[in-house]
């Protein structure tokens, strides 16, 4: 095998048959690099233990962000079996603000059996609701959360802090009350890439507000 | 009140009482009252949609049923459901208190304030419900993602050796000092309320006024007792002092019908104003 | 190459899977399995720390050893770019009687640079405090440390492990939670010969113990 193969093949239906042509092609952004971009990205992906963002990845492999974005797309398709090779037992997911290799979910049971061990304890309903309030209302203080939940949330907040799902953002300059927000770890645990992917909650709240016209109040 | 069909979809947990799990905590709890029979969640929906009057719901009956229901649950579920029930019951109780407070024919600022207070309580209940519903989404995602396996493999020895040599500058005593620091219990700091400037109302002072008014007349209605008062805080304080005086058997009251006029009579056999000095001490902080 | 063995090139998702089956020449073994053997093997390879032997791998994926050996060969060729797809940034190597994914040697410099940039020469205050907790409370689980520190310590524990300052002692027989302890490397850094020489801090330590409730989440 030669090292001058390209990392990204401009894939079309026919590309599979012109494989050799692809391989000898060379890309501008790889000039001066010993090996193709996708390979370098894969090397980094193999050793990281938390999601890596595009910019950090681009810095690590020494290529411009757009090229890295494109190469990532190629890898995603490759692993999904939409490239030239077969589908892989792993996949590349963008979760919690970065990219990371995951076992394809088809094989989760197989791996779970192999790994054994205990699933982490589930969060209580109270913790889930507190987490939801913090996720949507952040930055938010404990007393603000408590007033929505109408109960004391101190111990639940402690649990969520210890689990790394929320974090202290800053202290209010006047009251000194600590404002809390969610962490990237929460996004990872939810399997989403950003807070934008939270389901919209305003319809639920608006719904309630609709009931408030004076006419219906006795 | 019969559950109206268009309400049903807003209360999905009510649909499957048999498949109750910890994430749909109230799915299994049904309420059976003289005027309502159905899932607890539906009761809340109806009340929040004003299709049922909170003042017609016997919270004590609901509570009794809930306690009976709890006895059949295992410990984890019990705690979850109990805490949730407390949240909702507290809100319902607030609403009910607001609903029962005198409002009457006079549409004055005070009555409007009461209505606003009630709206706030409705809003709170609805907001709570919204977050509760979305928390099911959180539970689903967390559960799904729990099953996933991510590559998290220790760095190869070969690569580990490339990491910069660790710079260590702590003596063993530094280290022990650090341990002390690390073990010091981390109190979650208390949020003071000192910055709030709500006007303070003294129950004792208000009780003195109530005592004076009651002793000077054969009977006084609560409406008269708070006539002309514009501060909700003072109305509340006078109501609490009535309750406190009742505890000291200093007064009797009667109410002929629900929501009817509350008539108060001075009934103290022996009353010293010293009692007044300790009245409402429970509320002192 | 075995590419020409498949009659058709119009690849669909299902074609990919049967094709991989072809390559491993182990169609029969895949009967009753939802996905091809190579994928299942890749799933296991992605999550293991230590090389895995053929027999253990065969047991993990539920296929006979010869089929697994063949599938491994396919994967080795695949990753080396001798299959249909491009060469990968990682490779599958047999080391000490077992198979494991490694970053391809070509990318060692890249990885070294990345790792060097990731690991600062000094431990953070958070890492030092966590280390102190582990030193005085060992054997101790991550969640116990988290509950004392009232913050999530996962990444800090990873750092300390990577630095060789702590080590995994054993897994709790009931919960499977891993118990950590400190290493001789820490003793050397501190200039002491044994843990007994750590200055006592017992009064507060007892307080810390009260905060433990392993396994509870509320």
Average pLDDT (C119-128) is 83
Q: What is the pLDDT of residue B1?
A: 39
Residue with tokens 């939802």: C34
Q: Based on the number of CB atoms within 10 Å of its own CB, is A94 exposed (0-12), middle (13-18) or buried (19 or more)? A: middle
pTM above 0.90, yes or no: no
Q: What is the Cα–Cα distance from C32 to B57, expressed in whole angstroms?
A: 58
Does the beta carbon of A17 lie under 8 angstroms from any beta carbon of chain B?
A: no
pLDDT at B99: 62
At A18-47, the pLDDT tens digits run: 333 344 333 444 444 557 999 999 999 999
Residue C89, strand partner residues: none
Of B155, A185, A100, A58, give the one whose Cα is nearest residue C116: B155
Chains touching C, CB cut-off 8 Å, 3+ pairs: A, B
Mean per-residue pLDDT over chain A, rounded: 78
Q: Residue C74 above 90 pLDDT?
A: yes
Find the residue in A nearest to B136 (Cα). Answer: A128
**Would you give the distance in Å from CA B109 to the centre of its chain?**
26
Residue found under tokens 């003596």: B171
Classify residue A173 as exposed, middle or buried by CB count within 10 Å of its CB (0-12, 13-18, 19+).
Answer: exposed
**A107-119 tens-digit pLDDT:** 998 998 888 766 6
Q: CB distance A85–C85 less than 8 Å?
A: yes
Contacts of residue C99, defined as CB under 8 A and 6 or more positions apart, other chains included, come to: C45, C51, C52, C53, C54, C57, C72, C92, C93
pLDDT at B280: 65
- Which of the residue ranges A12-21, B93-102, C86-95 would you say has the lowest mean pLDDT? A12-21
Cα B220 to Cα A181, B217, B253, B263, distances in angstroms: 53, 7, 9, 6
Q: What is the pLDDT of residues B26-44, one digit of tens each?
A: 456 777 777 777 777 666 6
Q: Are strands C178-182 and B30-32 parallel, antiparallel or unpaired?
A: unpaired
- The single residue listed with the structure tokens 């090397």 is A43
Which residues of chain A are within 8 Å of residue B132 when distances are taken between CB atoms? 129, 132
Place of tokens 């074609």: C15
Confidence of residue C201 (pLDDT cuts 50, 70, 90): confident
Instruction: Say yes or no: C103 contacts chain A, CB-CB below 8 A.
Output: yes
Q: Which pLDDT value is given to residue B249?
A: 81
Measure the CA–CA gap between B38 and B16, rounded to whole angstroms.
12
Sheet holding B262-266, edge to edge: B220-221, B262-266, B251-255
For chains A and B, count residue pairs whose Cβ atoms are closer than 8 Å. 160
The pLDDT value given to residue B47: 67
What span, in angstroms and rounded, lies between the C-alpha atoms of C100 and C47? 10
Q: A9 and chain C: CB distance < 8 Å anywhere?
A: yes
**pLDDT per residue as tens, chain B (285 positions):** 333 333 333 333 333 333 333 334 445 677 777 777 777 766 666 666 666 666 677 777 777 777 777 777 777 777 777 777 776 777 677 666 666 655 444 445 555 565 566 566 666 777 777 888 888 899 999 988 888 888 888 778 788 777 777 888 888 888 888 888 888 765 555 555 545 555 667 777 888 888 888 887 788 888 888 888 887 888 888 888 888 888 878 888 888 877 788 888 888 777 777 777 777 666 654
> What is the tens place of the pLDDT at every residue in A127-174?
998 999 999 988 999 988 887 776 778 888 988 988 889 998 988 888
Q: Tell me the pLDDT of chain C averaged across its residues.
A: 78
DSSP chain B: -PPPTTTGGG-GGGG-GGG--GGGGGGG-EEE-SS-EEEHHHHHHHHHTTSS-GGGS-HHHHHHHHHHHHTTS-HHHHHHHHHHHHHHHHHHHHHHHHHHS---S---HHHHHHHHHHHHHHHHHHHHHHHHHHHHHHHHHHHHHHT--B---PPPHHHHTTSPPPP----HHHHHHHHHHHHS--PPPP---TT--PPP--HHHHHHHHHHHHHTSS-EEHHHHTTT---HHHHHHHHHHHHHHHHTT-EEEEESSTT--EEEEE--SS--HHHHHHTTGGG--
User: Which chain B residues are Cβ-neighbours of C198 within 8 angstroms?
Assistant: 172, 175-176, 179
Helix, coil or strand: residue A167: strand
Residue-level pLDDT at A19:
38
DSSP state of A10: -
Q: CB neighbours (10 Å) of residue B230?
A: 11
- Please determine, for residue A8, whether its predicted confidence score (pLDDT) is greater than 70: no
pLDDT at residue B228, rounded to an integer = 82
- Mean of pLDDT values over A178-203: 88
Nearest to A78 by CA among C29, C42, C48, C99: C42
Q: pLDDT at position A119, please?
A: 63
- Residues above pLDDT 70, as percent of chain A: 74
pLDDT of residue B28: 63
Q: What share of chain A is helix, strand, coil (3-state, %, to 5)?
A: 50, 10, 35
Residue A36: burial class (beta carbons within 10 Å; 0-12, 13-18, 19+): buried
Nearest CA in chain A to B157: A47
- Phi and psi based region of residue C25 (left: phi greater than 0; alpha: psi -120 to 50; beta: remaining): left
Q: Are A8 and A71 in contact (CB under 8 A)?
A: yes
CB contact (8 A) between residue A102 and residue B25: no
Token pair of C152 as six digits: 């999530």
Count CB neighbours of B101 within 10 A: 19
Instruction: Give the separation between CA B269 and CA B78, rounded to whole angstroms.
Output: 47
Query: For A194-209, what is the mean pLDDT?
Result: 66
For the residues C158-166, what does the mean pLDDT come to?
88
Which residues of C are less than 8 Å from A16 in CB distance? 9, 11, 84
Q: A93-97, B216-220, C22-26: which range is least confident on average?
A: C22-26
Most confident of A20-24, A213-217, C141-145: C141-145
**From CA C39, how far away is CA A81, in angstroms rounded?**
11
């Amino acid at each position: 095998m030669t090292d001058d193969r390209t990392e990204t093949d401009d894939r079309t239906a026919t590309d599979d048959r012109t494989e050799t042509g692809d391989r000898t092609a060379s890309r501008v952004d790889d000039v001066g690099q010993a090996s193709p971009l996708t390979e370098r990205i894969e090397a980094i992906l193999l050793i990281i233990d938390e999601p890596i963002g595009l910019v950090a990845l681009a810095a690590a492999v020494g290529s411009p962000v757009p090229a890295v974005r494109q190469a990532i797309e190629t890898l995603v398709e490759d692993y999904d079996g939409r490239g030239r090779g077969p589908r892989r037992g792993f996949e590349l997911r963008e979760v919690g603000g970065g990219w990371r290799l995951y076992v394809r979910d088809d094989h989760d049971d197989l791996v779970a059996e192999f790994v054994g061990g205990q699933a982490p304890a589930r969060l209580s309903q109270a913790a889930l609701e507190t987490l939801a309030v913090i996720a949507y209302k952040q930055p938010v203080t404990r007393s603000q959360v408590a007033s929505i939940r109408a109960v004391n949330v101190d111990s639940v907040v402690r649990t969520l802090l210890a689990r790394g799902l929320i974090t202290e953002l800053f202290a209010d300059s006047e009251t000194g009350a600590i404002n809390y927000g969610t962490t990237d770890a929460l996004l990872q645990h939810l399997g989403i890439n950003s807070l934008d992917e939270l389901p919209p909650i305003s319809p639920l709240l608006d719904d309630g507000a609709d009931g408030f016209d004076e006419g219906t109040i006795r | 009140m019969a559950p109206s069909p268009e309400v049903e979809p807003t209360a999905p947990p009510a649909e499957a009482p048999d498949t109750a799990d910890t994430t749909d905590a109230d799915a299994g709890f049904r309420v059976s009252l003289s005027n309502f029979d159905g899932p607890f969640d539906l009761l809340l929906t109806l009340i929040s949609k004003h299709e049922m009057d909170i003042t017609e719901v016997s919270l004590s009956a609901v509570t009794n049923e809930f306690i009976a229901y709890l006895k059949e649950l295992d410990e984890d579920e019990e705690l979850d459901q109990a805490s949730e029930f407390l949240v909702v019951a507290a809100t319902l109780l607030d609403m009910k208190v607001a609903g029962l407070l005198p409002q009457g024919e006079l549409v004055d600022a005070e009555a409007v304030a009461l209505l606003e207070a009630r709206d706030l309580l409705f809003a709170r209940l609805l907001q709570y419900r919204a977050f509760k519903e979305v928390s099911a989404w959180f539970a689903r995602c967390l559960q799904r993602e729990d099953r996933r396996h991510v590559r998290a493999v220790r760095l190869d020895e070969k690569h580990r050796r490339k990491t910069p040599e660790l710079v260590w500058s702590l003596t063993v005593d530094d280290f022990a000092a650090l341990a002390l620091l690390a073990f010091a219990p981390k109190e979650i700091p208390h949020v003071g309320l000192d910055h709030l400037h709500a006007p303070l109302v003294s129950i004792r002072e208000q009780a003195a006024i109530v005592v004076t008014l009651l002793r000077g007349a054969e009977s006084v209605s609560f409406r008269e007792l708070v006539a002309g008062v514009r501060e909700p805080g003072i109305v509340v304080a006078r109501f609490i002092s009535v309750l406190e005086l009742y505890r000291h058997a200093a007064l009797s009251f009667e109410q002929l019908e629900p929501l009817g006029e509350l008539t108060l009579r001075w009934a103290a056999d022996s009353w010293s104003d010293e009692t007044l000095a300790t009245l409402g001490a429970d509320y002192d902080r």
